[in-house]
Chains A and B, each alone.
Chain A
């Protein structure tokens, strides 16, 4: 058989089998995006970016892997990178981006960043995760903050509640709800939710400077201080205001309890607002948002980012277009209105945002300027994943009674963090 006909036959055989990959010498105009925003408001928000890029003539190649708050997607990403086939970009959280940067797997979009002046627009604290040695290798999509509480306004009026300013006020409010036969606190009893709530409890109990000392600096004396014990005791107090079936509940089901008026309040990051929106509820009219009592002025943040991977030269143009589109003011506004978060660049007008969004944007600006803008430990923005997971472990074990006292909890916390480092 002549080489040519051999080739033809094999090619035919291959295409008959349906496995032949036709000669796609990597489409220049293609953005391959790995993410875990597969449904509801999140997918709708991401769709804005897809449309923006489609308008510019780029094809969107969607690689969604839902589940486990990105755990599934992170496994896929690890496999793609190990195989030498990284996506154009991937949704990523804080310290995970640093890992890839350290391993030299991320690309470089400093040129665009310099041109557009991102370093002046993005909060400095956030740039720790988007840059490596001054090189930009990720773009932030939004800024979430975890120290919020969400209340049903009708229930609030029924029980005659007012905005709680301190933790004690909060407890008094919860007592009122309990007396009125409403579930005071809607809670999803999953490790990450409990730890996310504890972030706020710690900042409220010890103040934001204590939060910084304990969780950002990992100061051992702060970690085992009486203040930390008090924070665990406060967490236990909150637990007594939940319904008995909270264990294992998804967070959006807990939000639904507040939306329906079965429960008064949920402690949750501002992604909860997306749920109210999806249920056609209006901020100020149907629901109220306050900062977690005792944390006003501070922002304990997390952020969704797109990590830029080191891809072949012919894919870099698409990558740059994706980064530019993500950082554009219009996208940052449109996306974050849907998602419930606030824009990652601070020059986006707040006109399209509701009252909670407007407060969020103002809070980020002020907190950023006075050093009260700190990463959430539960959400991987204060410490590497190993430490954050160890923290989640201790909090959830305490919450579900495996660790019985706050004394034991702080001892375990110190031990677990040490062993994870």
Chain B
């Protein structure tokens, strides 16, 4: 039952009895806002389907007169980015995936374990620890770049040592690993917050019962908590996926070049300093780059709200 249900309940038993005028106003407002929110996307899509002279010469809200998909193919695999051999943004797509998947998995798992410890295995000072971890959400990334670079440089040197000794770096100094580290570290605050608030509401009795049955710390986590964590896992995954996929600063600073994530390639494509600005190609590239996140939102949006409802926002 929704809140509105209850609010309206005594005088109007259900929604069908809400006056037609009210319903029209509600739908009207929702539709109006939906259009406003959609306008930028519509303009982007339409621009991406027009030839360039129609973009620069015509009205940006006009429908394409001559429909073309050329900007999309150009953005995906033809447009030159710098003087690298990889054309288009397709080559960078996998870089982003390779970074975003481990970063999301690790930060979510650590967040879940932290939330579990901070609610079910409390120790003196747990509130302070939680407060300090939460503050990690707020650090401006620009101010960590230099010290981060120094630390990543040290890891790179360890990697070189390992190469000399074993022939493999074990991931030390690899740009993708470096980005995963950055995103895990600065995502921990959020993931811990989400899981901690969710597990806070999780019945402690179940955990206690499992303890009495002799279940270990990890057994309880795996058999009791994890199976009941789907909503909050989805929330965390979506939140982390969006943030990490869209990150530009870390990507451009620590992984520029052929290992750079998609946002860096996109920026290089869009930020034309000379030559004709190919707005249609830029918009197509932009939509391609946003496709994974858009997909996640549309498909998992339903769970997102459910998950939030289940605890993430309830202080």
A residues near B, CB below 8 A? Answer: 7, 10-11, 14, 17-23, 25, 32, 34-43, 46-47, 50, 60-67, 69, 72, 75-76, 78-80, 82-85, 250, 252-253, 256, 271, 274-275, 278-279
Contact = CB atoms under 8 A, between A and B. Distances in A.
Q: What interface size band does chain B fall in? A: 35 or more
B98 A42 contact: no
Given A21-B173, A62-B82, A252 B277 contact: yes
A50 B267 contact: no
Nearest to B266: A66
- Closest 5 A/B residue pairs (Cβ): A40-B275, A83-B153, A64-B82, A66-B271, A62-B84
A278 B275 contact: yes
A38 B82 contact: yes
Interface in B233-276: 252-254, 256-258, 264, 267-276
Contacts of A23: 163, 167-168
Interface string B141-157: 00001101110110011
Given A21-B168, A65-B256, 8 more contacts: A14-B168, A38-B82, A38-B272, A39-B80, A75-B252, A79-B146, A82-B149, A279-B276
A39 B83 contact: no
Instruction: Output the residue of B153, B166, B269, B274 with the most chain A CB within 10 A.
Output: B274
B232 to A, nearest CB: 26
A109 B84 CA distance: 26
Contacts of A14: 168, 170-171
Contact of A43 (B80, B166, B174, B258): B80
Contacts of B173: 21
B197 interface: no
Contacts of B275: 39-42, 252, 274-275, 278
B274 A35 contact: no
A62 B168 contact: no
B83 A67 contact: no
A11 B166 CA distance: 9
Instruction: Output the residue of B83, B148, B152 with the most chain A CB within 10 A.
Output: B83
B264 A85 contact: no
27 contacts: A7-B166, A14-B168, A20-B170, A21-B171, A21-B173, A23-B168, A25-B163, A37-B273, A38-B269, A40-B276, A41-B275, A46-B82, A64-B84, A64-B256, A64-B268, A65-B252, A65-B256, A66-B271, A66-B272, A76-B252, A76-B253, A79-B145, A82-B149, A83-B149, A253-B277, A275-B274, A278-B276
Contacts of B153: 82-85
A396 B270 CA distance: 25
B177 interface: yes
B274 A79 contact: no
Contacts of B176: 18-19
A64 B267 CA distance: 10
B45 interface: no
Given A35-B82, A61-B257, A62-B258, A40 B171 contact: no
Interface in B273-289: 273-277
Instruction: Output the residue of A17, A80, A83 with the most chain B CB within 10 A.
Output: A83
B43 to A, nearest CB: 18
Given A38-B268, A39-B268, A76-B256, A20 B169 contact: yes
A63 B271 contact: no
A19 B176 CA distance: 7
Nearest to B278: A39
Contacts of A25: 163
B81 interface: yes
